[in-house]
């Protein structure tokens, strides 16, 4: 579809827009389209083309993408002015200065970031033919099939209830209260929608680790990495008893030191041989980078890259926190209109703020939070935040 829509034939455009078609051409040019010469037309532009031929080349894509996003900001301002002040106000001058904050707040007219599967288990989210999505089911099945089992289980959390909304609102307020005046975070609806799906995915992943393992393994096979195995080590709480022995003599210490030095030399030689062997076989699994088996590392990079503003090269950060039923029972079980719920949700938001703020950089400007709860199956809730 990218190859199809990145190119517009000027003759067809002028045929469709008979009244001052040059205005339409100027608008498209401001959105990043450029005249393209046809070799058979004697040097006369026959097409308008947008972006590089291969969309994955982010460096080549950036100039066109910046122009397109800037045009979307201006279109949004025009729509807002007409809605608030009427069509006659459109004759007034329009503010054309565009900052990064304006780009980060774009919603792109989409109802959801990811299109839910019609067969998602337990999903109550109604999808009509009028809904718009940034990431469609077709794209996921073609480009990220390994994620589908995990995502299909997570779509049921796309519906956000009052309980979840309340804690998210208080969390954002608490974060901004702790940040400086010039460090306040703005709410981003696209990031919130993606964070909601991530919160559900993390909750499902904790319950069904096999889904995360399968997705991570499939992604590793295509990227040349290997899934890091989880190994049980000694607990930090374990205390090792000191042996009850007499102090060693000076002669014994000298002999032990010589043995250690000889052993260190042998180990260094063996390590050098092993390193040389690994360098000679770069495709060996032991020489590949290890892939952590977490939902954030498997799902988030695959989906957030579909947000156009992220393709500009902006760094993003994900952060999560867990709320346990045993710690805040009133938050999970009380009616949202009861006093004990109001007290509990304030305590939950404060605890979340202590955890989440560590994962949000000081230079972040926009953020979106999601919260997934299902006490019928889990004794916990997941809050996930994404910041840019």
104 pLDDT tier (thresholds 50, 70, 90): confident
In angstroms, the CA 318 to CA 190 distance is 14
Q: What is the pLDDT of residues 48-59, one digit of tens each?
A: 999 887 776 667
Q: What is the pLDDT of residue 207?
A: 92
When pLDDT is averaged across residues 118-127 and rounded to a whole number, the result is 48
**Rounded percentage of the chain residues whose pLDDT exceeds 70:** 75
Bridge partners of 48, per DSSP, are 8, 35
HEC readout, the chain: CHHHHCEEEHHHHHHHCCCCHHHHHHHHHHCCEEEEECHHHCCCEEEEEECCCCCCCHHHHHHHHHHHHHHHHHHHHHHHHHHHHCHHHHHCCCCCCCCHHHHHCCCCCCCEEECCCCCCCCCCCCCCCCCCEEECHHHHHHHCHHHHHHHHHHHHHCCCCHHHHHHHHHHHHHHHHHCCHHHCCEECHHHHHHHHHHHHHHHHHHHCHHHHHHHHHHHHHHHCCEECCCCCCCCCCCCCCCCCCCCCCHHHHHHHHHHHHHHHHHHHHHHHHHHHHHHHCCCCHHHCCEECCCHHHHCHHHHHCCCHHHHHCCCCEEEEEEEECCCCHHHHHCCCCCHHHHHHHHHHHHHHHHHHHHHCCCCCCEEEEEEEECCCCCCEEEEEEEEC
The predicted structure's pLDDT at residue 225: 53
Strands 317-324 and 380-387: antiparallel
Distance of CA 287 to the CA centre of its chain: 28
pLDDT of 129-158, one tens digit each? 456 788 888 888 888 898 999 999 999 999
The pLDDT score that the predictor gives to residue 269 is 53
pLDDT tier, 255 (very low <50, low <70, confident <90, very high otherwise): low
The pLDDT mean for the chain works out to 80
Both tokens assigned to 341: 């719920």
235 CB neighbour count, 10 Å cutoff:
7
Asked if residue 134 lies in contact with residue 211, where contact means CB atoms within 8 angstroms, the answer is no
Between 21-30 and 58-85, two packed helices, what is the crossing angle to 10 degrees?
Answer: 120
- Return the top range by mean pLDDT from 177-186, 243-252, 335-344: 335-344
Looking at per-residue pLDDT, the higher value among 43 and 34 belongs to 34
Which residues, 6+ apart, have CB-to-CB distance to 306 below 8 Å?
Answer: 113, 134, 135
Of 141, 235, 215, 176, which Cα lies nearest the Cα of 367? 176
The string of pLDDT tens digits covering residues 287-324 is: 334 445 688 889 999 899 888 889 888 899 999 999 99
Q: For 349-361, what is each residue's pLDDT tens digit?
A: 999 999 999 999 9
**Range 158-185 average pLDDT:** 94
């Amino acid at each position: 579809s990218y190859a199809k829509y990145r190119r517009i034939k000027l003759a067809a455009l002028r045929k469709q827009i008979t009244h001052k078609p040059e205005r339409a051409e100027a608008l498209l040019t401001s959105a990043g389209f450029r005249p393209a010469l046809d070799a058979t037309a004697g040097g006369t532009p026959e097409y308008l083309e947008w972006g590089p031929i291969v969309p994955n080349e982010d460096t080549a894509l950036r100039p066109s993408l910046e122009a397109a996003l800037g045009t979307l900001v201006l279109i949004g301002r025009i729509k807002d002015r007409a809605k608030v002040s009427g069509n006659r106000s459109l004759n007034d001058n329009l503010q054309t200065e565009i900052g990064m904050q304006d780009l980060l707040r774009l919603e792109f007219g989409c109802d959801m970031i990811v299109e839910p599967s019609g067969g998602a288990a337990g999903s109550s989210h109604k999808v009509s033919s009028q809904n718009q999505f940034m990431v469609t089911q077709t794209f996921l099945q073609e480009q990220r099939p390994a994620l589908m089992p995990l995502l299909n289980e997570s779509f049921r959390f796309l519906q956000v209830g009052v309980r979840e909304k309340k804690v998210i609102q208080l969390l954002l307020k608490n974060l901004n209260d702790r940040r400086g005046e010039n460090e306040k975070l703005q709410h981003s609806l696209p990031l919130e929608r993606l964070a909601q799906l991530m919160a559900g995915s993390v909750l499902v992943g904790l319950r069904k680790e096999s889904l995360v393992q399968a997705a991570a393994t499939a992604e590793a096979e295509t990227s040349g990495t290997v899934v890091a195995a989880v190994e049980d080590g000694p607990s930090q709480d374990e205390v090792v008893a000191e042996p009850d022995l007499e102090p060693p003599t000076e002669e014994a210490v000298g002999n032990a030191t010589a043995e250690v030095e000889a052993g260190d030399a042998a180990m260094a030689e063996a390590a050098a041989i092993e390193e040389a062997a690994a360098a000679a076989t770069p495709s060996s699994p032991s020489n590949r980078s290890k892939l952590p088996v977490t939902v954030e590392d498997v799902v988030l990079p695959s989906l957030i890259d579909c947000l156009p503003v992220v393709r500009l090269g902006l760094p993003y950060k994900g952060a999560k926190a867990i709320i346990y039923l045993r710690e805040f029972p009133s938050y999970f079980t009380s009616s949202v209109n009861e006093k004990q719920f109001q007290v509990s949700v304030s305590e939950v938001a404060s605890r979340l703020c202590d955890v989440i703020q560590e994962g949000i950089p000081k230079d972040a400007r926009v953020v979106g939070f999601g919260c997934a709860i299902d006490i019928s199956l889990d004794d916990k809730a997941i809050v996930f935040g994404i910041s840019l």
